[in-house]
Amino acid sequence: MGSVGAGKSSMLSAIAGSMQLQSGDFNRRGSVALVSQQTWLMNSTVTSNILFGREFDAVTYQKVIKACELRRLSERMVRSFLGVRKRASRLPEQFIRRTIFKNCFAYFESIKNSDIYLLDDPLSAVDVHIGESIFRKVIGSNGILKDKTRLLVTHNVKYTEGSTVKIMKEGTLTRDTADLEKLASMSDTEDKVDDESESCETAEERVPELRKRKKSGLLKEIENIKDVEEEKNPKESIWLYLIQAAGIHNVLLFLLLQTSHYAFQSARSIYIASWSDSDDSGMGSRIWNFSMFGAAEVISFLMSCYFLQEACAQSSLNMHRPLLRDVLTLPMRFFDTYPTGDTPSRFGNDLDTFDHAFPTAVRSMLKSALQVLSIFFVISYASPIFIFALIPMAIVYFKVMTLFVASSKQFRKMEKDSRAPIYSLIKECCAGREMIIAFGKEEHTSSLLGTILNRFARCKMIVQWSTRWLCHYIDIMVFLFAALFAVISCRYFGVAPALAGLSLSHAFSMDMLNMFIHALSYLEHYKMGGERLRDYSSLGKEQLSLEREDRKNWIGEPSIAIENLSVRYGLPLVLKNVSISIAAREKVAVVGRTGSGKSSLTMAIFRVIEPCSGRILISGKDIDSVELNELRSALTIIPQDPVLFSGNLRSNLDPFGKCSDDELWRALEE
């Protein structure tokens, strides 16, 4: 036991092997199970999180679930967060970590094999009566862990009866009677609150049949909830979205100049071929004309590159700014339901794709398409009869292109989908490093990461194999086409040698079709990234008021009045006709069981969730008429799970730089 910052969690981390020994001796015998103060959740099912790589034992599993009061909490969990996901195993992380990990995570892992249990205040996140039940059934002298060594960090003196008590103060272990009496007096105060909540527990125990009747209907309602990711709305063409982002004038000028470039290139080739069949008269004019073709070709190419870069820069700005604005205005439910690696992937891979890879693919596709058209034009000019041979060849190429583009799109989608779990797992491992080390699950985590990487590698290999297949297929077709042209044009139609040589050299350049099909497949793949970016704009945003009001003007006496407030996350109401009046400078305590709606009440005041009925008045003004930024900047909350942003202490205390050093020091000292 000890005050905050005394070193209790650090001592457990040192015993678990997560801290480096600087001096002294340390001996530990037996395996260790750790319940860290910083709870950790894997992106998986509830059962997978509890087992953590162990084989499933139904008897032991049910025994631990019952001892940890997880059956009772799981039903309340579903009721509190109905509508966020249609599977209970994918409900919001914050509630799962409070109800499962601090009660059950370490117990199942360690019930068979572990010898030492390091419990860093695991009962602080649950109701007092539930905590007492868990302590009695699991940690206490008659619990599941009665034959094991238990080291429990707690602030509740009731959990120390019959145990050896050590007080930690400023990083050292003592047995200060005054500190113990102080903690005991605080625990007595908590008991008074606990007595008030016993009636709620008794009332709930009187209606077991009602809960059973509601359970089946509740689960059916959950199954009928549509996942946020699966909602589809009629949308505009993705190509129109991308063209508008890049600027229509930039796109049109780029297409015109790029077409002009290859038109001048073809004209220059035909001009020099016809030049070889003429006499030497007019040499100066021919050189001048040839130079003009070359100059026009270079100028059109440079101008097309300029407008391509302009289109890329404009599209980058027009896509990044709305995306950032959309993410910042998304409701909190979005971050509880979408995978953790989804949003970083949008800002990372997808935006980077449209900054670099997408313009290259567009240019490659247009270049190869125009070059193939110029090749067809030159060959048709040299031997018009060969146009009839191009028709069946074009049909074959079209079939190949359709097959490859469709399959390549799916292959690359598989590759993209298999990449996101890698980011999620790496992020989870970094956050749960202490738990992984304490449980000795480094090999299990490495194996899990290897499985995900192998899945990604298989998808990547399929993409490479399909690409190699296309290359060989196109090469064979080009060789047959060039050979056929050489035989037919020279042997049967007597094409001029200069034109025959020009046409034959162009025929061997028909492998540009390979580049065209590749570029087209890449564009189809990159287009899905554009669809994902655009889809963020179609997600529900927090409603902002059209009128921006000054916070200093609308807040007078800081009073709060809640009138018949009802709130829901999905289908059932979590707050039902709540009415309360809090006067200015009045301190009010809201007491209730886990899942009773205490946190929902605070979220409704911050308008994180919008009310179904009723209203909330602050200083006599309806908060629905106040702009969200002004409302939330006028309120302060101390959340259940504190968060520190990357940076120094000052940036976390005063992120907007409004306070002086004296004010910050005064706040720290107080």
Convert the pLDDT of each residue in 436-459 to its tens digit: 776 677 788 888 888 889 989 898
Fold for the domain defined by 8-225: Rossmann fold (3.40.50)
Average pLDDT over residues 514-539: 76
Q: Where in the chain is the domain with CATH 1.20.1560.10?
A: 230-537
Strands 116-120 and 149-153: parallel
268-277, 531-540, 634-643: least confident range:
268-277
Please say if the pLDDT value at position 368 is more than 50. Answer: yes
Q: Is pLDDT above 50 for 533?
A: yes
Q: What is the mean pLDDT of residues 152-161?
A: 74
pLDDT digit string, tens, across residues 42-71: 766 667 767 777 677 777 777 777 776 665
User: If pLDDT is split at 50, 70 and 90, which confidence band does 546 have?
Assistant: very low
> Does pTM surpass 0.95?
no
As a CATH number, domain 230-537 is: 1.20.1560.10
Q: CATH 3.40.50.300 in the chain, residues? A: 8-225, 551-639
Burial class of residue 103 (count of CB atoms within 10 Å of its CB; 0-12, 13-18, 19+) = buried
Q: What is the pLDDT of residues 466-525, one digit of tens each?
A: 888 887 887 787 777 777 767 766 665 666 666 667 667 766 677 677 777 777 777 877
CATH code of 551-639, in short, is 3.40.50.300
Q: For 600-608, which contacts have Cβ atoms below 8 Å and span 24 or more sequence positions?
A: 600/80, 600/567, 600/569, 600/574, 600/575, 601/562, 601/565, 601/575, 602/637, 603/332, 604/565, 604/567, 604/575, 605/560, 605/635, 606/631, 606/632, 606/635, 606/637, 607/542, 607/631, 607/632, 608/331, 608/332
SS3 143: coil
